Amino acid sequence: MPEMNLVQAINDALRVEMRADPDVVVLGEDVGKVGGVFRVTQGLYDEFGEDRVIDTPLAEGGIIGTAVGMALYGMRPVPEIQFADFIFPAYDQIVSEVAKYRYRSGGEYTCPMVIRTPVGGGIRGGHYHSQSPESLFIHNAGLTVVCPSNPYDAKGLLISAIRSDDPILFFEPKRVYRAVKMDVPEGDYTLPLGKAKVVKEGNDVTVIAWGAMLFEALASAEEVAAEGVSAEVIDLRTLWPVDIDTIVESVKKTGRVVIVHEAPKTCGFGGELLSLVVEKAFLHLEAPPVRVTGWDTPFPYTLEMEYLPLQHRITPALLETARYVP
């Protein structure tokens, strides 16, 4: 089994699906000859040609708008937005059109597409190359939102996403792109959308994370284990519709929950997760739920490691929550 990083695994998933289905096309800024600014689409242009790996004009609204047309015609477009920070010119198309087509047309038209885009900080990207806008999409009815943390999950989830009849936002944690390598099966395999994964079992406190922060959560779980605290770590993988059963089952076991995300705290997805936990497991809670998140500021450049909810902030939150006594 070959070893792949996240970039290679996503590239491989695209290649597998493009070989299997001539209706799958990739489009975006710089995705063609150069293979994307992160090289995620490298080699696809040579294999599939300029009609299936399309270097578009520099306009995100046009990338998604034309992808909508392709999807309505029956193709499977996989548009790339170069950074999630630049997705906003396409926001109208995504939330007013992509997300609503099936519903507003009474099911006559569907708009299957996978919008791939790198998210997250910790790569010296400053405000406009670091943000995590997931909650802005989760809030809009009709969108599925995925954020894998590792190469194996990314490949299986991306293949499932391309085959899905629903439109999907596929957020790729760019800090992980080349940081993690693991065995990834060759060829075709899928992982179910909407299923979280308990990546470390524990009994004292549940920590929910995704994307790059999953590794910070795991590091903190290791750190607190040395102090006798057993943390259960959940990788959401699909953010929405979220795997509520896995979350509730874990919280019922531990009675305590810490939610970690890079996005700002206020109206971040953590707030929604926390509400769900309270609605569905209130009587099992033994400590106030805690969010460890980005601050409610624009994403900073020089001080980004102080902005991000890294291990140094997750560890004390886990200890405090696990040891909380009313």
Partner 1 sequence: MQTQAQVVPIRTPDATFADDVLSVIERDGSLRSETDPKLPQETVLRFYRAMVRTRIIDGQLERLQRQGRIGFHIGSLGEEACILGSAAAMRPNDWIFPCYREFGALLWRGFPLQTYVDNMYGNADDVVKGRQMPDHYTGKPYRFGSVSSPIGTQITQAVGFGWAARRKGTDEVVSVYFGEGATSSNEFHTGMNFAGVMNAPVVFLCRNNRWAISVPSEKQTGSATFAQKGVAYGVRGVRVDGNDVLATYKVVREAVERAARGEGPTLVEMLTYRLGGHSTSDDPRAYRAQDEVEQWRRTDPILRLRTHLEALGVWDESKEEAYKQEVEAELKACVAAAEAKAKPSLESMFDDVFAELPWHLKEQREQLLGGPRAKDHH
Q: How far is the CB of 84 from partner 1 (least distance, A)?
A: 19
How are strands ordered across the β-sheet holding 53-55?
53-55, 24-28, 76-80, 114-119, 168-173, 144-146, 238-240
Tokens of 175: 């800090």
Rg of the chain, C-alpha, whole Å: 19
Q: Which of 5, 41, 144, 150 binds partner 1 (CB under 8 A)?
A: 144
Nearer to partner 1, 193 or 199 (CB): 193
Nearer to partner 1, 72 or 219 (CB): 72
Q: How far is the CB of 224 from partner 1 (least distance, A)?
A: 31
- What x-and-dash track marks residues 15-54 binding partner 1 by CB under 8 A? ----------x-------------------------x---
Q: How far is the CB of 95 from partner 1 (least distance, A)?
A: 10
Sign of the CA dihedral running 217, 263, 122, 191: positive
Nearer to partner 1, 76 or 256 (CB): 76
On the 0-12 / 13-18 / 19+ scale of CB atoms within 10 A, 165 is exposed
Q: Which stretch binds partner 1 (CB under 8 A): 32-40, 137-145, 206-214, 303-311?
A: 137-145
- Asked if 232 and 200 count as a contact pair (C-beta separation under 8 A), the reply is yes
CA atoms of 267 and 159, how far apart (whole Å): 30
Measured CA angle at 155 (ends 183, 202), to 5 deg: 70
Nearer to partner 1, 100 or 252 (CB): 100
CA atoms of 103 and 187, how far apart (whole Å): 34
**DSSP states of 224-274:** HHTTT--EEEEE-SEEETT-HHHHHHHHHHHS-EEEEEEEESTT-HHHHHH
Q: Give the three-class secondary structure for 58.
A: coil
Q: Which of 126, 133, 142, 316 binds partner 1 (CB under 8 A)?
A: 142
CA atoms of 129 and 219, how far apart (whole Å): 25
Q: How far, in Å, are 1, 248, 320, 322, 323 from residue 326 at the CA level? A: 50, 21, 12, 12, 10
Q: How far is the CB of 147 from partner 1 (least distance, A)?
A: 17
The reply to whether 129 belongs to the active site is yes
Tokens of 316: 């004390």
- Of the candidates 221, 215, 236, which has an alpha carbon nearest to the alpha carbon of residue 322? 221
Give the count of residues interacting with partner 1 (CB under 8 A). 46
Q: How far is the CB of 72 from partner 1 (least distance, A)?
A: 6
Nearer to partner 1, 167 or 268 (CB): 167
Nearer to partner 1, 97 or 320 (CB): 97
Report 99-118 residues binding partner 1 (CB under 8 A). 100-110
Q: Does 246 bind partner 1 (CB under 8 A)?
A: no
Report 49-108 residues binding partner 1 (CB under 8 A). 51, 56-57, 59, 61-62, 64-75, 77, 89, 92-93, 96-97, 100-108
Annotated catalytic residue, options 127, 129, 284, 312: 129
Residues forming a β-bridge with 27: 54, 79
Q: Does 244 bind partner 1 (CB under 8 A)?
A: yes
Report 162-221 residues binding partner 1 (CB under 8 A). 164-166, 194
Catalytic sites, residue numbers: 129
- Binding residues (CB under 8 A) for partner 1: these are 25, 51, 56-57, 59, 61-62, 64-75, 77, 89, 92-93, 96-97, 100-110, 141-142, 144, 164-166, 194, 241, 244-245
